[in-house]
Structure 1
Amino acid sequence: MSTPATEFSLPNVGPGPDPVSLSALAAEHAFALLLFQRDHYCTNCRQQVQTVAGRYDEFARRDTEVVSIVPEPAEKVREWQDSYDLPFPLVADPEASAGDAYDQPVRFGFLGDWSDFLGRMPEAVLIDLRGEPTVVWSYRSRSTFDRPSVDDLLAAIEEARDTPPEG
């Protein structure tokens, strides 16, 4: 089951278009893998972007652009790029508007809504950009430790590549 993807435009502190939007990504890639992070301080988030960066060529060979989305101001997100020199877009979403549009999981009810540190959980969303941008796969984490492996992400891309695009 696939659903229409929500367009967004966010500042990019890494390689690629600035700002990052689905339309900008669609001009160059068949798929976009959005990695919604918890926050700037999350060590598991930092580990995930480094792990994906180490295998980025496997995503590129599948015509997939990885985009890491951090619900923080650009100045804080830039610290990740300065530290890790990521080969893919690293975008700031200080209002968590993209995270909200893609239903990024938030725990602890009102308290989680009030504080991203307490409540926002990681999410991975695969968007097929070959026609109308469409969400074709997602993984909603239940904790900051709960993330799909790189192999799981690549398998989701392979499955989507084998399915004709919608639209």
Structure 2
Amino acid sequence: MSLEATDFSLPNVGPGPDPLSLSALAADHEFALLLFQRDHYCTNCREQVQTVAGRYDEFVDRDAEVVSIVPEPEDRVREWQDSYDLPYPLVADPDATAGDAYDQPVRFGFLGDWSDFLGRMPEAVLVDLRDGPEVVWSYRSKSTFDRPGVDDLLDAIDDARTR
């Protein structure tokens, strides 16, 4: 897979530039790992951001910035940062514009389109920032429990580096 990545500018309540964009990350990082979360209430999403935070140094060692994107207003996303003190950017995507641009999976037809709570599924997207942003790997979840582990995410970065 190799597709041009869509840039975005979203409010960041975590470390890093605010607003956050891929173009801003490209100045200091070779890769961006975008973790599209289901919603503010998703316990599996909350667990994922904490698990990734616990191994964040391994992403830094690979010159990859992790960005967690939550399809919620900034105040709700800030609650995550206040609770978990994540060492990487945590951005609000209240209109799901970034999620839509990256084809974040939505289930349940019309109901899923109407309500993120009913239908938006997690997604992980690896963007190579070295020669213009391009998507080099993605994982589209089929349920709230279906998501790659940290080792899978790190392996995807390692694989992309050798291309």
- TM-score, with structure 2 as normaliser: 0.99
Which residue matches 2:37? Answer: 37
Q: Whole-Å Cα distance in 1 between the matches of residues 37 and 3 of structure 2?
A: 22
**Pairing 1:6–2:6 present:** yes
Which residue matches 1:70? Answer: 70
Q: How far 1:82 moved relative to its partner?
A: 0.2
Q: Whole-Å Cα distance in 2 between the matches of residues 132 and 139 of structure 1?
A: 21
After superposition, the CA RMSD in angstroms is 0.4
- AA at the equivalent of 1:93: D
Q: How far 1:23 moved relative to its partner?
A: 0.5
Which residue matches 1:93? Answer: 93
Which residue matches 1:146? Answer: 146
SS in 2 for 1:124: strand
Any idea what the Cα deviations from partners look like across 1:42-98, whole Å, max 9, x if unmatched?
000000000000000000000000000000000000000000000000000000000
Q: Whole-Å Cα distance in 2 between the matches of residues 39 and 88 of structure 1?
A: 18
- AA at the equivalent of 1:160: A
Q: How far 1:132 moved relative to its partner?
A: 1.2
Q: Whole-Å Cα distance in 1 between the matches of residues 41 and 111 of structure 2?
A: 18
In structure 1, runs of 5+ residues without a counterpart are none
In structure 2, runs of 5+ residues without a counterpart are none
Q: How far 1:102 moved relative to its partner?
A: 0.0
Q: Whole-Å Cα distance in 2 between the matches of residues 25 and 143 of structure 1?
A: 29
